[in-house]
Amino acid sequence: MPKFVTCLNCMDGRVQLPVIGWIREKYDAEHVDMITEAGMDGFLVNRKDVPEELRKKINISLEIHGSSVIFIVGHHDCGGHPVDELTHKKHVLESADKIKKVYPGCAVYGLWVSGLWQIEKLGEL
């Protein structure tokens, strides 16, 4: 059975491969189900709840692919959520908290992608 994890990422084409590579290496995952929005951390913090359309996609990853780990990603030079690095990191963690409340059975991690496209783990819920 292939091992899947779930990732809520930006749609920015520069971040997909670094994030997939890092997750596969660190978490022994074969497949990363990638769910994207423009500035995912901003998308989540600016909404009261996790939108139904997003939950539907997360649920497919959890229920059909058997994932139990969810990553939330923010990155440097984000056109979809143009705030400074400190604010991004805060918003990633707030987003992770929001996701954890909906999916308490999952491990939820916040990640930051730097200007050198390196991944930094921000926290685990």
| Site residues (vs Zn ion, CB under 5 A) | 10, 12, 39, 78, 80
- Residues 69 and 106: beta-carbon distance below 8 Å: yes
Closest approach, Cβ 85 to Zn ion, in A, equals: 13
Nearer to Zn ion, 80 or 123 (CB): 80
The residue among 20 and 107 lying less far from Zn ion, judged by its C-beta, is 20
Residue pointed to by tokens 């995952």: 29
CB of 71 to Zn ion, least distance (A): 15
Q: In the complex with Zn ion, which residue's Cβ is closer, 39 or 110?
A: 39
Q: How far is the CB of 64 from Zn ion (least distance, A)?
A: 27
**Beta-bridge mates of residue 9:** 36
Counting beta carbons within 10 angstroms of the beta carbon of residue 82, is it exposed (0 to 12), middle (13 to 18) or buried (19 or more)?
A: exposed
Place of tokens 């990553």: 71
